[in-house]
Structure 1
Amino acid sequence: MRAESVETPPLATARDWIALAVLMLPVLLVSIDNTVLSLALPHIAEALEPDAAQQLWIIDAYSIVLAGLLVTMGSLGDRIGRRRLLLIGAAGFAVFSVASAFATTALELILLRGLTGIFGAMLMPSTLALIRGIFRDRNQRRVAIAVWAGCFSAGSAAGPLVGGVVLEHFHWNAIFLIALPVLLPLFILTPLLVRESRDPHPGPIDVPGMLASIVALVTIVLGIKEFAAQGFGLQPIVSIVVGVAVGAWFVRRQLRRPVPLLDLTLFRNPLFSGSIAVNLLSVVSMVGFLFFVSQHLQIVVGLTPLAAGVVLLPGIVLMIIAGFAVVPLSKRVTARVIITGSVLLSATAYVLMAAFGAGSAWQIVLIAFVILGVGVGMAETLSNDLILSAAPKDRAGAASALSETAYEVGAVLGTALLGGLLTAHYRGALVVPDGVDTDAGARARETLAGAEQVAASLPNDLGAELMSMANAAFEGGVVMTSVIGAILMVAAAAAAWFVLPKR
């Protein structure tokens, strides 16, 4: 009996569950911040007049910086304390979010979004690693991770809805002030409820390894982004080659170090590697979908930002429900079957958008996002649980950083790859009507929002003709992007089926 009591992990207390609720505040904030700009983008484009590349950078700068620093910040939290890093990140996040609200140029906004990403990278590994330390019992930890994954996915999906509510009543600058009411209770309650946690034996700080992880992630993502937007060229090829070379050096260095920055031997575990792949591709699917659907609902269908957000609300709710429903289901059905099925379900959302194409009314978008939300909610909850379960306890920060890196790289690729391909198709397919001068035609080709601004300045008939052409070019890109999104989801399902163990 004594042996059993020693081996049985302690159950979480009421205070621990309240601490979990507090830790969900930064999770919601960072995930909302990933997608809240989707609905605000047309308003920002009108105010700051960014070109197509700057428009993508406004969305991507935050996620690219965040993704590049997650590995480093996860390791830093292991050393200085995850709660301490969480509070430092929250302070910096608040400062630069407020500064972003007062940006006057597109370049200034891009810079401030990148600085916000530095502190966002401090928040996310800390939350998941703290959860691993608080909830020792496997069943309770699985529920806690379901809450974490549900909040993360729901926050990303709720970004457009939150943005719609704010834009309905305030200027676009108010989007960046959302952080303040979320972070204030975090500062007050975290020191009272959340116990400090750190790795007792972190080993020496690997500065070259940290720098290599940043360079590898950023250059590879930038290369893919440029390739998607501009096609084959010297710049994207060089960027990707440099990233791969630095990444290979980083892997060799970590495998040779007695105390590595990241325990890459974790990837030998099919549960870990398969779950990371599912994480990344599922987020590509969701964020890429939100990128083009938010513009489709507002500019093509003609909905207000709030109405467009309401269309996405059922998908958000069902995403949360699906994340919790998969917990009891996972006790009876293998992870391999659940994750494969949920990812294939997500693929059908893209198939639905591709099938209806330019005729996709808001009802079709609603149904498609409900399907996508259910699939992503189930896949994210279970894959995150498998990632943490496969990692040694003393590497919880690094393992959670890998999980978050997959998420943020997926968020970047969702806009950079799918958004870039959509933009490239739009530029090539748009036929500017006769009567539109060269400069106005160039602005219309930059983005769909740019075409809307040009059309508003033209005579009624000519403006209507331009918008008809622009909508047709954009919707053709939606069909193409939807097909690619479906292919990515099928690839994720294949990875889950063939990599995850049968048991």
Structure 2
Amino acid sequence: MEKTTPARAGRREWIGLGVLALPTVVLSMDLTVLHLAAPTLSADLDPTGSQLLWILDVYGFMVASFLLVMGSLGDRIGRRRLLFIGAAAFAAASVLAAFAPTVETLIAARALLGVAGATLMPSTLALLTNMFHTSAQRTFAIAVWMTCFTAGEAIGPLIGGALLELFWWGSIFLIGVPVMALLLAVGPFVLPESSERLPGRLDMVSATLLIASVLPLVYAVKKLALSGVGLEPIGWAVLGLAVGAVFCRRQLRMDDPMMDLRLFRLPAFSAGLTTQVIAVAAMAGSQLLVLQYLQSVLELSPFQAGLWTVPSIVLGIIATLLAPKMVTRIRPAKVVGVCLAIAAVGSGMLAVTAPMQSLPAAIIGFTVLYTGVTPTLALITDLIVSSAPEERSGMASGVAESGGEFGLASGMAFLGAATMAVYQVRLTEAAPAGVDEGSLDAAQETVGAGVRIAEETTGATGAALLEAVHAAYSDGLQVAAGAGAVLLAVGAVLALGFLRGAPASAEQAGDSASPAEPKSTAGATTEH
């Protein structure tokens, strides 16, 4: 059967890509600056350790719960329309978070931001994949999109650090308001509405079942991370799995399912998703812990901590932009596997050097980790999304983003909880005798609280307590970084073993070199 030549993107599409990058930049900035704000936020609102983790995690968990629903909704009502609705809602929730007077209000605002964010990511990715039809251009466009996400992480610490030194912690949430306003003003002129849509309305029963299955699982993850194995987390996990089984059974019986489970039979889809979750979990957890380490242990200001992360961001951007060129000659499985192996080495370096409390060692280890992970995310996203038919690109984008967000939240929850568990035990063992029980309990809540209690304690006792806090958190980071290294090594093995079916692509190079040649989908899973 003769294949038609896919149309190549023009000026409007490339300008549209720039517009689609706006919400991507904001979402990554919103996450990174919150990491920086954790110590000052803790000092102002005085959250417990559990509340602080909820502030950091609830956004990612809500995004993970609603991404598939929003992706499927965009497939039906139009991805551009959903993008604009989400942008307006995100701006409103950002204002609420900025002026939150209590911990509970901030957690609620972060949850609303997560629901709004769930509309943005699948919409931008689905629109992008439908704007760029040749595989070479699409892979490069996704790399640029992912680079903008990385660039937001670079800009976030700098802008956020400056804001935290000049204003209150809530100012960091206001960064996204003018950006979303610009998206709403310019987007209608350069972004085309999706041409392929699924018929019918969103199946609200399936949507409810999906959310009702994800949320208990998310809560179970949280409880397991904070409290260990017990009846409560097991009960919530069983409930989530049971509802999930009902959801899957319903999808298999429907002619027009919300989630096409047949896609999970494709190696590039299922193995790519698993690898993505592992890679993001290891990177996100390490990033949060390293930023807190730089501030609370190495005593850098938020702005200084942000500056020291710039080398990793810059190298990550360069590696991400080079990734599409690499896969024109080398199979994606090898590129992803080698990059994740490099990241595992970086995480191992962090684990070895964390107790030394050395700034150069921490920065080198994190830079190697970050530079190894970032190019894999663009390649894996392309493999996942390109596996799906065009009319289900929103759903596939939702799955890809769900994997990333669940990995993000799980990494921060599990690695963060592991760090705090070690921190609390070590601090109990090393705290000086002059510290009363109430102060010690307060110092064990978070490392920021520990530093504050030590600074408020006078004399040699305060100095000894501060030293114990630094040592305890360093030991916690060592354990978490070691766990991250293992995760990344497992991800490398999965990529090398199960992504071998995704071709390299000389075909993608052909798209770029000769418009007359037929299109080859990056995942190469549509030809059986």
Please tell me the TM-score bracket, short chain as reference: over 0.9
User: 1:385, CA displacement in angstroms?
Assistant: 1.0
User: 1:61, CA displacement in angstroms?
Assistant: 1.3
Could you tell me whether the CA contact under 8 Å between 1:145 and 1:381 is conserved in 2?
Answer: yes
SS in 1 for 2:199: coil
Aligned partner (choices 109, 113, 125) of residue 112 of structure 1: 109
What is the aligned partner in structure 2 of residue 371 from structure 1?
Answer: 368
Residue 176 of structure 2 is aligned to residue 176 of structure 1: no
CA deviations on 1:325-380 (whole Å, 9 max, x unpaired) are 01111010001101111111111111001111311422112212221222122101
User: 1:156, CA displacement in angstroms?
Assistant: 4.1
**C-alpha separation in 2, matches of 1:443 and 1:424:** 14
What is the aligned partner in structure 1 of residue 466 from structure 2?
Answer: 467
What is the aligned partner in structure 2 of residue 357 from structure 1?
Answer: 354
What is the aligned partner in structure 2 of residue 95 from structure 1?
Answer: 92
Identity of aligned residues (%): 41
What is the aligned partner in structure 1 of residue 514 from structure 2?
Answer: none
Query: Kindly tell me: are residues 22 and 368 of structure 1, through their superposed partners in 2, closer, same or farther at Cα, counting changes over 3 Å?
Result: same
**C-alpha separation in 1, matches of 2:107 and 2:458:** 34
What is the aligned partner in structure 2 of residue 448 from structure 1?
Answer: 447
What is the aligned partner in structure 2 of residue 246 from structure 1?
Answer: 243
What is the aligned partner in structure 1 of residue 523 from structure 2?
Answer: none
Query: Kindly tell me: are residues 68 and 45 of structure 1, through their superposed partners in 2, closer, same or farther at Cα, counting changes over 3 Å?
Result: same
Which of 493-502 and 58-67 deviates more?
Answer: 493-502
Give the aligned length: 500
Residue 44 of structure 2 is aligned to residue 43 of structure 1: no
Could you tell me whether the CA contact under 8 Å between 1:357 and 1:478 is conserved in 2?
Answer: yes
What is the aligned partner in structure 2 of residue 137 from structure 1?
Answer: 134
What is the aligned partner in structure 2 of residue 434 from structure 1?
Answer: 433
**C-alpha separation in 2, matches of 1:124 and 1:201:** 19
SS in 1 for 2:451: helix
What is the aligned partner in structure 2 of residue 458 from structure 1?
Answer: 457
**C-alpha separation in 2, matches of 1:199 and 1:70:** 19
CA deviations on 1:214-271 (whole Å, 9 max, x unpaired) are 1222221221221111112222111211112222222222122111101111111111
Amino acid at match of 2:286: F
**C-alpha separation in 2, matches of 1:400 and 1:35:** 22
Which of 389-398 and 28-37 deviates more?
Answer: 28-37
What is the aligned partner in structure 2 of residue 498 from structure 1?
Answer: 497
Amino acid at match of 1:446: E
Moved over 6 A (4+): none
What is the aligned partner in structure 2 of residue 266 from structure 1?
Answer: 263
Structure 2 counterparts to residues 2-401 of structure 1, below 5 A: 7-156=4-153, 158-197=155-194, 199-401=196-398
Could you tell me whether the CA contact under 8 Å between 2:455 and 2:466 is conserved in 1?
Answer: no
Which of 400-409 and 75-84 deviates more?
Answer: 75-84
CA deviations on 1:27-68 (whole Å, 9 max, x unpaired) are 111122223211100000000000000010110111111110
**C-alpha separation in 1, matches of 2:306 and 2:49:** 24
**C-alpha separation in 2, matches of 1:400 and 1:320:** 22
User: 1:489, CA displacement in angstroms?
Assistant: 0.7
Amino acid at match of 1:441: L
Could you tell me whether the CA contact under 8 Å between 1:164 and 1:309 is conserved in 2?
Answer: yes
What is the aligned partner in structure 1 of residue 518 from structure 2?
Answer: none
Which of 356-365 and 62-71 deviates more?
Answer: 356-365
**C-alpha separation in 2, matches of 1:372 and 1:129:** 29
What is the aligned partner in structure 2 of residue 423 from structure 1?
Answer: 420
What is the aligned partner in structure 1 of residue 507 from structure 2?
Answer: none
User: 1:134, CA displacement in angstroms?
Assistant: 0.8
Amino acid at match of 1:346: A
SS in 1 for 2:382: helix
User: 1:183, CA displacement in angstroms?
Assistant: 1.3
User: 1:160, CA displacement in angstroms?
Assistant: 3.4
User: 1:157, CA displacement in angstroms?
Assistant: 5.6
Could you tell me whether the CA contact under 8 Å between 2:76 and 2:201 is conserved in 1?
Answer: no
Query: Kindly tell me: are residues 238 and 415 of structure 1, through their superposed partners in 2, closer, same or farther at Cα, counting changes over 3 Å?
Result: same
RMSD across aligned positions (CA): 1.5
Could you tell me whether the CA contact under 8 Å between 1:34 and 1:411 is conserved in 2?
Answer: no
Amino acid at match of 2:405: E
User: 1:201, CA displacement in angstroms?
Assistant: 3.1
Query: Kindly tell me: are residues 198 and 30 of structure 1, through their superposed partners in 2, closer, same or farther at Cα, counting changes over 3 Å?
Result: farther
Which of 56-65 and 218-227 deviates more?
Answer: 218-227
